[in-house]
Structures are given as structure tokens and as C-alpha cells.
Amino acid sequence: MAEQSVTISDVYTRKVSGETYQYEAQYNIGKKVDWSARIYQDSEQKGAPSGAIVENMMSGDALRQYIIAYIENIIEKGLGIEE
């Protein structure tokens, strides 16, 4: 059976500076979740973080919210984001 893939597109505004970023993220559902995101500001790519969740026990909305929170935290802290 093929792994199910999920795509998320959203906008995040940094609390520290008020800058707005758009992001697109993809992740698979399973025991090991691989995810990747592309972060943009005004249509210019500013970063491309990725990672994995091993021994995953989450599914559905819990997994989706975890991925969203992780990506938005990266944006908020400016980790790997070109200014």
C-alpha cells in the first residue's frame, strides 16, 4: 500500500517583527513521517526546512497541527530563513 501524502499551504506572521511568510509543506503519514516545507516572502523563497518524526504515534489533525506548529516555530525563530 502506498503511503498517503498530505500538503498544507498557509500564511504565518512573525510575532517578533510582524513579517508575513507563506509556506507550503508536504508530509507522509506513517510510523516514520518525513516532512519538507518551502517558505516564501513576497513570492521569493526564503527557506526549505525538512525533517522526520520517527516512531510516530500521531495521526489526523494531531499530526497536521504538530507539523504546522513546528514549521511556524522555525519561521518565528528565523531558523534557516533568509532575511
Strands 44-47 and 50-53: unpaired
Quick one: what percent of the chain has pLDDT higher than 70? 98
CB 24, CB 37: distance < 8 Å: yes
Domain assignment of residue 83, yes or no? no
| 40 falls within a domain | yes
The arithmetic mean of pLDDT across residues 32-46, rounded, is 97
Residue 82 lies in a domain: no
**Cα–Cα distance between 42 and 55 in angstroms, integer?**
36
Q: In total, how many domains does the chain have? A: 1
**Segment (H or E) for 76:** helix 60-77
- What percentage of residues in the chain have a pLDDT greater than 90? 88
Handedness of CA 49, 75, 33, 24 (dihedral sign): negative
Categorize the per-residue pLDDT at 2 as very low, low, confident or very high, splitting at 50, 70 and 90. Answer: low
pTM: 0.90
Range of the domain at 24: 5-77
User: Looking up cell 516572502, which residue turns up?
Assistant: 41
